[in-house]
Amino acid sequence: MVDTQRKLLLGNLACVHGAIYAGMRFFAGYPITPSTEVAEGCSRELPRIGGRFIQMEDEIGSIGAVVGASVSGVKAMTATSGPGYSLMVENIGYAYMTETPCVIINVQRGGPSTGLPTKGSQSDTMQARWGPHGDYTAIAVAPSTVGDTVTETIRAFNLAERFRTPVTILLDEVISHQREMISLPKPGEHQVVDRVKPTASPEEFEPFAHTAGGVSPMPAYGEGYRYVITGLTHDAMGFTTNRPDEIKLKLDKLRNKILNFKSEITKLRIEMMDDAEIAFVSYGSVSRAVLLAVALARKAGVKVGMIQLYTVWPFPDEELRDYLVGCHKVIVPELNMGQVVREVGRILPPDTEIHSLLRYDGEILTPMQLLEKLEEVM
């Protein structure tokens, strides 16, 4: 029996399948290598399922349209690369402040500036955390294969809807522009989360109230709840405020709604860590090379393991500490000049040796390079 779900799929199109599976029905974007195929895929698929695709005049317009669509009640996303993400950060910040669910795919390329449009990179990782100005708590996920690009896109939407927040998907050109044989998820195979609707009457409804679950219900337009959404700091009613207590309440909410439920957000892949004395901590496409390197090293009797971060932000401080308690050496391979290695250094006890393995010449880190580094640090 032919498995109809098996498909040879381009990484960029895996985002489209994952998003549609998660209920995305609105895409607004702007062409930029290496993410353009996501837009092209949406322009083909969405009309067939009653969805909407629009190519806006620039990336700022794109994220604006996405937030507008989401606020009106439709799951929405955009896809871009470094230069586009840089243009989008103000409106992503608006989505943080107004707690508007949306997904922004950043297919990273060499930076800064125009950089290396056709080369993979992970140099926008910190931007996914600190891009917009001001204080907020970001969520960013990082697939490493075409297969988990589908599942991570679904998860990104679920997190966006659950926590009423933008979620950045950190892809890179390596994954986006390769094709792999994968099995597309069947309907019902993955849970799909939708934003909570209010039960209070429109008269009593407080659109930005502080609830136990951290997140206030979010009605769609046309459902009788005509509330105020503004980028100005606001109170539980959404009205602008300059009162210190209300300002602190709002900013605490933006943080606590995420950090108090970190267990629902953190996702790690743990390989061969039980007796590991040395560990690789990686994320994104580099993790594939790490997996092979660790397997080869184990064959040679080296007690090494791998922790792959599917959720990069918020950084999984507690879980990493627990898993790394037995390891006195940690290697952090990245396609940038050292970003997540800073976080690893921040959370580990001072006596742990932390080694960076960096590649930022446009090529990808190979298993051989990882093994050489492993030998070097042993």
Partner 1 sequence: MTTAEKTKAAPRQRSDVILNYLRPKKKFPNVWCAGCGNGIVMSAIVRAIDKLALSKDEVAMVSGIGCSSRMPIYLDFNALHTTHGRALPFATGIKFAQPHMKVIVITGDGDALAIGGNHFIHACRRNIDITAILVNNYIYGMTGGQGSPTTPTAAFSTTTPYGNAEKHFDPCKLAEAAGASYVARATVYHAPQLEKAIMQAVDHRGFSLVEVISNCHTYFGRLNRLGDAVSMLKEYKEKSVTVARAKRMSPEELKDKHVIGTLYEDDKTEFCDEYQKIVDAQMGEK
Chain residues binding partner 1 by CB under 8 A are 25-26, 28, 47-52, 54, 56-58, 60-62, 64-74, 76, 90-91, 94, 203, 220-224, 226-232, 237, 239-240
CA distance 24 to 195: 13
How near is the Cβ of 76 to partner 1 at its closest, in Å?
A: 7
By C-beta, is 70 or 287 nearer to partner 1? 70
By C-beta, is 117 or 231 nearer to partner 1? 231
CA distance 41 to 279: 38
How near is the Cβ of 70 to partner 1 at its closest, in Å?
A: 8
Buried b (16+ CB within 10 A) or exposed e, 1-16: eeeeeebebbbbbbbb
CA angle 260, 315, 272 (to 5 degrees): 115
The token pair at 316 is: 């999984």
Backbone angles phi, psi at 95, to 5 degrees: -70, -35
- β-partners of residue 240 are 234
Number of neighbours of residue 227 by Cβ within 10 angstroms: 15
How near is the Cβ of 197 to partner 1 at its closest, in Å?
A: 15
How near is the Cβ of 209 to partner 1 at its closest, in Å?
A: 14
How near is the Cβ of 224 to partner 1 at its closest, in Å?
A: 6
Please give the order of strands across the beta sheet that includes 268-271. 268-271, 304-309, 278-282, 329-334, 353-358
Omega within 30 of 0 (cis) for the link into 101: no
Kindly list the distances between the CA atom of residue 335 and the CA atoms of 105, 122, 147, 179, 368, in Å, as whole numbers in the listed order.
18, 5, 21, 21, 15
How near is the Cβ of 71 to partner 1 at its closest, in Å?
A: 6
Number of neighbours of residue 40 by Cβ within 10 angstroms: 17
CA distance 172 to 334: 12
By C-beta, is 226 or 248 nearer to partner 1? 226
How near is the Cβ of 347 to partner 1 at its closest, in Å?
A: 34
Strands 139-141 and 311-313: antiparallel
How far the first Cα of the chain sits from its last, in Å, is: 49
By C-beta, is 57 or 274 nearer to partner 1? 57
Give the closest residue to 150 by CA, choosing from 312, 300, 20.
Answer: 20
How near is the Cβ of 95 to partner 1 at its closest, in Å?
A: 10
Q: Tokens 């970001």 label which residue? A: 138
Strands (E) in 56-200, as ranges, are: 76-80, 102-110, 116-120, 139-141, 166-172, 179-183
The token pair at 178 is: 């390769």
By C-beta, is 73 or 367 nearer to partner 1? 73
How near is the Cβ of 186 to partner 1 at its closest, in Å?
A: 19
By C-beta, is 29 or 143 nearer to partner 1? 29
By C-beta, is 220 or 378 nearer to partner 1? 220
By C-beta, is 50 or 188 nearer to partner 1? 50
User: Using the 8-state DSSP alphabet, how is residue 122 labeled?
Assistant: -
Q: Tokens 């492993």 label which residue? A: 374
How near is the Cβ of 356 to partner 1 at its closest, in Å?
A: 37
By C-beta, is 226 or 321 nearer to partner 1? 226
By C-beta, is 52 or 262 nearer to partner 1? 52
